Structure 1
Amino acid sequence: MRSTRTTFTRRGFLGLAAAAAASPALAACGGGLGSSGSGSGTVKFWDMPWSTPAYNTAAKKITQAYAPSSGNPKASYQTIQWSNFYQTFSSAIASKTGPAISTGGGFQAFQFDEQGQIAHADNVIDALRKNGQYDDFLPGVLDAFKSDKGYVALPWQLDLRVFWYRKSLFDKAGASVPTDWPSLLEAGKALKRIGVIGFCTGSGTGNFMGNHLMIAMMINNGGGVFTPDGQLDLLNDRNVEAIEFVSELVSNGVIDPAAVSYTLDNMDTQWKSSRTGYGLYVTGLPQRVGDTSGDIIAASPLTGPHGDKATLVFPNNIMMYKNTPSQASSEAFLVYYMGQLKHLWQQKLMSALPVFKSITELPEFAGDPNNVKIVKEYQPISKTFASRGTALDANIAVLDGGQAINQFTQTILTGKTDAKSALKTFQSGLQSVIKS
């Protein structure tokens, strides 16, 4: 499916930033959401192509089915392409022709919030408490969006990084599925001996998986780019230990020497053609590469050298803007839309994880054992780029989409320097572009 492919593409705007319920339930709670305003105009909802075109068709139908309470306007739906989307949003917001509500880049809300353009979602949270949806959120998914001023956005899907393996290759290599770092190295060597890639990753054009691997291994070891209060801390011992281990995978040929140039298409081909046995990738990998054999399986999370378990997550979100026919109308529509999300997973249009427990229990979702395992074992230990803290901000966007992390990843994958030197350069690169 294209959903996971666009999951990465959506981050293309970040480098630019571095440089410069059911409907009846809504009717009951929507009326108390802020002041009603004039009710003139239309609540414009801009959405991205998160999956195949069938996704946008379904999301448009949900939007058009919205029946606002008296005095509130209806909602309109528009698909915004990922290509140059940050410029599209920026120009429209500046000219006051932009949306009232949108999905978008993972950290877009925090960047526009800094510009004073985001309407906080606290009233929506209160409404979800009243209709019971607040208690339906998976543990911790709201934490990242709580700022000192309020909730910057609402999460609606989780883009998790998961360890996958191809069972037939492990059987052929006589290897055990890794449970920790030493067994990962040994399994990788065994897979290499039968002529396949022991750990699949990449850092070619448009491919952020190598970057995500570096951060995922840091947080899997109890480290992270930032301190709990958001200060840069790349040179801590846990990070050094993690990158030294990745370098060991490189030096042993477990990570392909050509990985530095692998695109997402290259990685997909390796998984699809049984040329790799293990790696960190997106949820829904079998569906992504069209493998229906059941041979590609979600492995359990790895245990780090000090007993830590963690994986990386990008909580994609829906945000509201201050330019709206009325704030109450935006809030009412958002409450409605959150209540309709289940239909997207019931139609199997999404490969990312939903944010609501009730959706994870639907037969259309829970019928896939990989989904069940990921929700049970990965989601509770997932952490964002903000780890060791929890709250996101615009600095996370600069980290995720800037050149410093790309250069760091490529340096490690090519084995050009030692872990401490690479981390020192990485920290210097970030210090020059983030806000203290």
Structure 2
Amino acid sequence: MNSIESVSRFQMSRRGFLGALGAAAVIPLLAACSPGGVAGGGGGAGGGGGAGTIKFWDMPWGQANYSRAGKDLIASYKPAAGLGAASYQSIQWNNYYQTFSSAIASNTGPAVSSGSGFQAFQFAEAGKIAYADRVVDALKKSGSYDDFLPGVFDALRTSQGQVAIPWQMDLRVLWYRKSLLEKAGVDVPTDWASFLSAGKALKKIGVVGFATGAGSGFNLGGHAIVSMMINNGGGMFDTEGNPDLVTDRNIETLEFFNEMVSEGIIDPAAVSYTSENLLTQWKDRKAGMGINTPGWNASVGDTENDVLVGEPLVSPNGTKGSLYYVNNLMMYTASPNQEASEAFLEWYVDNMKTYWQQKVITAIPVRRSIADLPEFQENAQNVKIVDVWQPISQTYSARSTSSFGALAAVDGGQGMQTFSQTVLAGKSNPKQTLTTFQAAIESLMKKKS
């Protein structure tokens, strides 16, 4: 997997099931299903004897040998008496939406799977997800639950129950190139004021201070803006899960972006930059700082320990925060035996450490014991992400106590694209821009209700 493919995979892996608007046409396949799924992880279609094989579908989350490691792991599964064995199938990202939706609609899909970040929410609303509350109870009883990092279960909890089980994370963190900050004569920023000063100093030496992009099919810029909104104590939704963007904290954040654009800290071309443009900018040492994904130093090809993870910035209001996605494992109602699905999933999350031990995956784990493995501890930047960034990160729902399926459409919708491009252009009225974006989100949520 080359570095550009790595960037693209991060984009696809955390996008919601409705990220591509064209995929909405497939939804009617599931429309006849009753909403809400099976609360509490109850049995699903075909749930009879335990002899049926638990089909586990997995995405290629890492290097070429990741799927081989997954297949070997599943082959080692020894179910309890009366419960079925498990099989492994790798599902490619290309056309994955169609693959899942058509198979699930015909009850020929998996019993358990990994998948895109919002996938479980979408299928839960179609009545196709078996909620994982009993798996959570089992993890608590065994003591494994306490090994998970804070907040990761909350990110997957809905009003109906635990929609999925966390297994790894995709965070938005601040990266900087040490040599360029030294050349500009500034320290690594710790708050908004010092970030602005560092950006101005980098501009004087011909370097972009805040490297990002919001071109077609690529919206890291949107993630960066939302990250800074959360960092400032704002966000996109209120405590009840209603869109709530037109707030003083969010307006203050967009004013900060306006200032960065006016000072030349954000590249004017960022509104159209793709992942390839951004990667080239960093490789050519024309980017000094930016919010990006874990493993960005590897994507850039840094071999000099020069591209490093910074500290979470302190906002003008004294707050810290950032955006993250919790990738997860979900169960489906079309299982040969729900008890077998639950037993397999509990076993899987207690044995998934092998991916990090074999170094076939670069994602950030959700379990402290995996983060403490010597193989993971070798990567100082990933360790810092776990120790410093994960505790202060929040999902899109931020101030809300639960997540919901509409976040998928928000993440990949045109409203987010328009919003980020407007902000990065630096010529918008913050209040009006937020009002327009909120209206777009409200419209999406109304369509999905």
User: Equivalences for 1:2-401 in 2 at 5 Å?
Assistant: 2-10=5-13, 11=15, 13-15=17-19, 16=21, 37-401=48-412
1-side partners of 2:260 and 2:372: how far apart? Answer: 38
Could you say which residue in structure 1 is the equivalent of 2:444?
433
Deviation, 1:263, is 1.2
Check conservation: 1:384, 1:390, Cα contact below 8 A.
no
**Superposed CA offset, 1:234-285 (max 9, x none):** 1011111101111211121111111111111222222223221100001111
Check conservation: 2:63, 2:361, Cα contact below 8 A.
no
Check conservation: 2:323, 2:393, Cα contact below 8 A.
yes
Check conservation: 2:7, 2:275, Cα contact below 8 A.
no
Deviation, 1:206, is 2.4
2-side partners of 1:368 and 1:314: how far apart? Answer: 21
Specify whether residues 150 and 225 from structure 1 end up closer, same or farther in structure 2 by C-alpha distance, changes over 3 A only.
same
Deviation, 1:34, is 7.9
**Superposed CA offset, 1:2-44 (max 9, x none):** 5553121232742336786xxxxxxxxxxxx988941233211
Check conservation: 1:18, 1:433, Cα contact below 8 A.
no
Check conservation: 1:6, 1:51, Cα contact below 8 A.
no
How many correspondences in the alignment? 424
Letter in 1 for 2:126: Q
Letter in 2 for 1:239: N
TM-score, normalised relative to structure 1: 0.93
Deviation, 1:289, is 2.3
Specify whether residues 121 and 189 from structure 1 end up closer, same or farther in structure 2 by C-alpha distance, changes over 3 A only.
same
1-side partners of 2:258 and 2:323: how far apart? Answer: 20
2-side partners of 1:294 and 1:193: how far apart? Answer: 24
Deviation, 1:320, is 0.3
Could you say which residue in structure 1 is the equivalent of 2:38?
none
Which structure 1 segments of 5+ residues have no match?
21-32
SS at match of 1:274: coil
2-side partners of 1:288 and 1:347: how far apart? Answer: 20
Could you say which residue in structure 2 is the equivalent of 1:27?
none
SS at match of 1:211: helix
Report the more deviating stretch, 355-364 or 59-68.
Answer: 59-68
Deviation, 1:365, is 0.9
1-side partners of 2:123 and 2:377: how far apart? Answer: 36
Check conservation: 2:16, 2:409, Cα contact below 8 A.
no
Check conservation: 2:172, 2:323, Cα contact below 8 A.
yes
1-side partners of 2:18 and 2:191: how far apart? Answer: 33
1-side partners of 2:262 and 2:185: how far apart? Answer: 22
2-side partners of 1:6 and 1:322: how far apart? Answer: 28
Deviation, 1:148, is 2.6
2-side partners of 1:390 and 1:203: how far apart? Answer: 29
Check conservation: 2:58, 2:91, Cα contact below 8 A.
yes
2-side partners of 1:265 and 1:273: how far apart? Answer: 12
1-side partners of 2:161 and 2:242: how far apart? Answer: 21
Report the more deviating stretch, 91-100 or 390-399.
Answer: 390-399
Specify whether residues 211 and 34 from structure 1 end up closer, same or farther in structure 2 by C-alpha distance, changes over 3 A only.
closer
2-side partners of 1:119 and 1:34: how far apart? Answer: 6
**Superposed CA offset, 1:95-130 (max 9, x none):** 111111111111110111011110011121122123
Could you say which residue in structure 2 is the equivalent of 1:412?
423
Runs of 4+ in 1 over 4 A off after TM superposition: 1-4, 17-20, 33-36
Check conservation: 1:3, 1:49, Cα contact below 8 A.
no
Letter in 2 for 1:111: Q
Check conservation: 1:3, 1:52, Cα contact below 8 A.
no
Letter in 1 for 2:159: D
SS at match of 2:88: strand
2-side partners of 1:348 and 1:129: how far apart? Answer: 28
Letter in 2 for 1:8: Q
Letter in 2 for 1:279: G
1-side partners of 2:75 and 2:272: how far apart? Answer: 43
1-side partners of 2:439 and 2:372: how far apart? Answer: 45
1-side partners of 2:10 and 2:83: how far apart? Answer: 33
